[in-house]
Structure 1
Amino acid sequence: MDEFGMGNSTLNSHFGPTLNPLYQQNEDIVSEYKQETFWAPKADSDLINRDILHSIPNAKEIDKYDEIRYLKPILKSDYTIDSQMRIVGGSSGGAAASVAADLVDFAIGTDTGGSIRLPACYTSTLGFKPSYGRISRWGLISYAQSLDTVGIISKKLDIIEKVFKMLDVYDYGDPTSLAENKRVRDEDNWFADGRKVRIGLPIEFQLENMGSGIKQRWMQLLEKLRQNKLIELYPVSIPSIKYSLPVYYTLVTSEASSNLSRFDGIRYGFRADKYTDTEPEYTVTRSEGFGEEVKRRITLGTFSLSSYGFDSHFMKATKLRSRLINEFNSVFRDRHELIPEESGNDKGVDFIVCPTSVDKPSIVSEYYNTSPVQSYLNDVMTTPISLAGLPTINIPYGKSEGFQLVGQFGYDYKVLKFAAMVSES
């Protein structure tokens, strides 16, 4: 994964780049795998909340720990990436790559602004982001806690549904976990015989910079949906979508700046163990311990939370996010589970459909030369849904191409059920 989940390429990993299994890499970039060990408290141990140990526990407590072994890849010093190799997407690129390469049946990742859906799209797999708060975040290192959502990647929709049903429970350990009475389960009348399914097509997603191949596949999909007699297509307008990218990066970097302040090398984590008269150990630790993208986002977030940036950036972004949520609510037929009295429109749509990405995944060598601002544009189709906390799934539609099926907040099973209907047709 990208370091601390920050990135949309998985080239920012501490262990080196993750490559896209759909494209040919002739030479292995790993020279060897080194076995590493750590100790974790056993499930029935009273030490369950203690830190994971990277040194052998003392003799009196060693029976309370399990020894965990894993393989750490060591990159070749002179490795080369094939000229046509493309990025896997991110930040959960490792999860998507492991599924695409048939190493596992499913993988768990986190989606903050598209980190499940984008790599799923680039690897032609299914990537499901539930409603915010539906799956517990307990144990997750927070990147941006008002956006982080645990999701599932697999090649099979029935596996995603089975895994989701196992994880779809309230957790008192997570303060953002949805209460049981806010979790909409399956309803028989969702797709009653003869009832038309209304699908909304946001006009704001007709972007000029969308690749010609994506446009062509998008038109093919719309024609396929139009031919289904049980589906009706409607143009809908969500004006604040055009502000989603700057709103997202203002809020997400602000929360990251706050969350990552705890990584100081004193309480836990990497520690530089050196300092100068002008640079304290805390500063050296954070300078050496964080990667360039992480430091960039911490800096951006710190500015947004400063005395100058708080009103001019952070609060404006917060207000625009609220407006975006209200606009999404105005186009859905179903009621928002957390604000039912302020949502629901009898003439609204059941789902929103839009492309997952604006183009094919970038070639790795070209992406390395892309500016940070240009790379952030890869998230333009996914961030609006994350800001609203809506359930959505990427459905593959061609090699490294896909579309998102989006439902109202809380109606996760409705999204999965209709995704199955669309996939079968």
Structure 2
Amino acid sequence: MLRKLSLKYNIFTSIALTNLESNSVGSLAATSYALKDNIVTRDAPTTCSSKILANYVSPFESTVSRLLAEEGSQLVGKTNMDEFGMGNSSLNSHFGPTLNPLYEQKSDIVDLKEKEFWIRGEKITQDITFQKQDAGSYLHRKYLVPEVKLDYKIDPEMRIVGGSSGGSAAAVAADLVDYAIGTDTGGSVRLPSCYTSIFGFKPSYGRISRWGLIPYAQSLDTVGIMSKNIKLVRKVFSILDKHDTSDPTSISEEKRIYDDKVDSIIKIGIPAEMSFDGLENDVKEKWSKLLKRLQKLPNFELFLISLPSLSKSLPAYYTLVTSEASSNLARYDGIRYGYRTGEYTSLEPEFAKTRSEGFGAEVKRRIILGSYSLSSYGYNSHFMNATNVRSKLIQEFNSIFKGPHMLNKHRNPNGIDFILCPTATSLPPLVSQYQKITPVESYMNDILTVPFSLAGLPVINIPLGRSIGFQLAGQLGHDYKVLKLAQMMDELDIR
């Protein structure tokens, strides 16, 4: 089943042919998982779905994969994604598109080929600077990797899986793993979770370690969890929810909030700016039924709230995220690691030719946008304006929540407990339609997800029907309350 579905939907960038290292006992010993291919592993390749890292194997292990291995969870493989996380469709990959397994795909779009990767054969300590290496300290492992068919055809009714964690969502939706790890910068866990009808949780920024996560935009990148089982999402989160001294953005232990108690009367805020006007009919109908159902339940109170800065959050997000990306991706020059061009001239330096050949179109587009925002002109007129929008949005979120902010303890005693809104404005677009739209039009898919990322809030996608979902968000640090209410809603079957 794993091989058959991988051929049709192109879910993995590498599939382990032998069991990777994990404990035989632990709280997750009976589970399997998939890992997004921008989180490094010492015994499996990490490519970010890019040509420039196509043969890269990390010399160290990410904190996330280490903690999961210690608890006995088995890694099946690394999942396909939009290159370096830049996209919301999972079509922007060097290894070809990932498709939505909720929709039928008749023919294979990739072949799976065996490929050997050399890895370090011994345990590696944190400090490897002076560690002696010899030929015996390396070994090779075989993996199945996808190779795109030159004549592949995508069925006319096939819809996008969403991104950039599309491979992780597809692995869960196709029942190939119990859960998957993705990353969420502006909705990259929630949007594909919505499009594949699974739970997708983005924790508060700083709660799960980013050590070993190859950065796209480090002030926004957050490791997230995807599964069909909300209880498993919570269990995995409780294992990963640890302070990590290797990650400077990791929240200290004394700042973390573990309380999951929700009030007997739950106050839900519905943002006026996320109104019915922009929703397609299928989403509008499901959303309307959900609100009417909640209004009839005695322990829920619904309030219309206003967050004026929401209207500016999308342009602010793309200004900030591309600026950080242009800086982060400067390290890929082909000199120290990764792909290096074989042909260059004195008019086109080796590193420029390497980057031109190694990066895909969307990545190069965002590097250029970010470089402009950080230029002498763009810095004040674009980057600083976007930073101010972000600060104002955070203040607006703080002013409406009743619970205390994890870092500054700000609270509004008369505020709401949670925010509820749709995850996407429409069903996932057809692949054939999506390939024809402009980049700016594609960015609009993130309009409902980016505000929570800008503020670093905990938020989860809860499936509401086939390829439809809604977001439940809480105050910064109140992750367990968000998961508790999501579980309550799942048990009440209010969907």
Q: TM-score higher than 0.5 here? A: yes
Name 1:173's counterpart in structure 2.
Answer: 246
Residues 1:66 and 1:49: Cα distance change in structure 2 (over 3 Å): farther
Name 2:307's counterpart in structure 1.
Answer: 238
- Which of 449, 452, 471 is the aligned partner of 1:385? 452
Deviates more, 1:159-168 or 1:303-312: 159-168
Aligned amino acid, residue 2 of structure 1: D
Deviates more, 1:209-218 or 1:110-119: 209-218
By how many angstroms is 1:412 displaced?
0.3
Matched, 1:250 2:290: no
Aligned amino acid, residue 329 of structure 1: N
Cα distance in 2 for residues equivalent to 1:339 and 1:191: 21
By how many angstroms is 1:239 displaced?
0.4
Q: What is the CA deviation profile of residues 49-97 of structure 1, one whole-angstrom value per residue up to 9, with x for unaligned ones?
A: 58xxxxxxx9x63443453332111122111100000000000000000
Matched, 1:163 2:243: no
- Which of 154, 162, 186 is the aligned partner of 2:259? 186
After superposition, residues 177-326 of structure 1 pair within 5 angstroms as 177-187=250-260, 190-191=261-262, 195-206=264-275, 208-326=277-395
- Which of 111, 122, 125 is the aligned partner of 2:195? 122
Residues 1:121 and 1:38: Cα distance change in structure 2 (over 3 Å): same
Q: What is the CA deviation profile of residues 96-117 of structure 1, one whole-angstrom value per residue up to 9, with x for unaligned ones?
A: 0000000000000100000000
Aligned amino acid, residue 36 of structure 1: K
Cα distance in 2 for residues equivalent to 1:377 and 1:62: 51
| Contact kept in structure 2, 1:41 and 1:48, CA below 8 Å | no
Matched, 1:33 2:112: yes
Aligned amino acid, residue 235 of structure 1: L
Matched, 1:145 2:218: yes
Aligned amino acid, residue 131 of structure 1: S
By how many angstroms is 1:43 displaced?
6.2
| Contact kept in structure 1, 2:168 and 2:181, CA below 8 Å | yes
| Contact kept in structure 1, 2:422 and 2:470, CA below 8 Å | yes
TM-score normalised by length of structure 2 = 0.81
Cα distance in 1 for residues equivalent to 2:365 and 2:265: 48
Q: What is the CA deviation profile of residues 275-329 of structure 1, one whole-angstrom value per residue up to 9, with x for unaligned ones?
A: 1131111110111000000000000000000000000000000011000000000
Cα distance in 1 for residues equivalent to 2:313 and 2:190: 17
Q: What is the CA deviation profile of residues 172-209 of structure 1, one whole-angstrom value per residue up to 9, with x for unaligned ones?
A: 1110001001110125xx335xx210000000001533
Name 2:75's counterpart in structure 1.
Answer: none
Aligned amino acid, residue 322 of structure 1: S
Residues 1:121 and 1:43: Cα distance change in structure 2 (over 3 Å): farther
**Structure 2 residue ranges without an equivalent (≥5):** 1-80
Name 2:489's counterpart in structure 1.
Answer: 422
The 3-state SS of whatever aligns with 1:394 is strand
Cα distance in 2 for residues equivalent to 1:41 and 1:48: 15
Residues 1:282 and 1:384: Cα distance change in structure 2 (over 3 Å): same
The 3-state SS of whatever aligns with 1:381 is coil
TM-score normalised by length of structure 1 = 0.94
Equivalent residues, number: 410
| Contact kept in structure 2, 1:114 and 1:383, CA below 8 Å | yes
Matched, 1:18 2:18: no
Name 2:475's counterpart in structure 1.
Answer: 408
Residues 1:63 and 1:319: Cα distance change in structure 2 (over 3 Å): same
Extract structure 1 runs of 4+ deviating beyond 6 A.
Answer: none
Aligned amino acid, residue 108 of structure 1: I
Cα distance in 2 for residues equivalent to 1:225 and 1:249: 34
Cα distance in 1 for residues equivalent to 2:174 and 2:308: 39
The 3-state SS of whatever aligns with 1:208 is helix
Residues 1:349 and 1:295: Cα distance change in structure 2 (over 3 Å): same
Aligned amino acid, residue 24 of structure 1: E
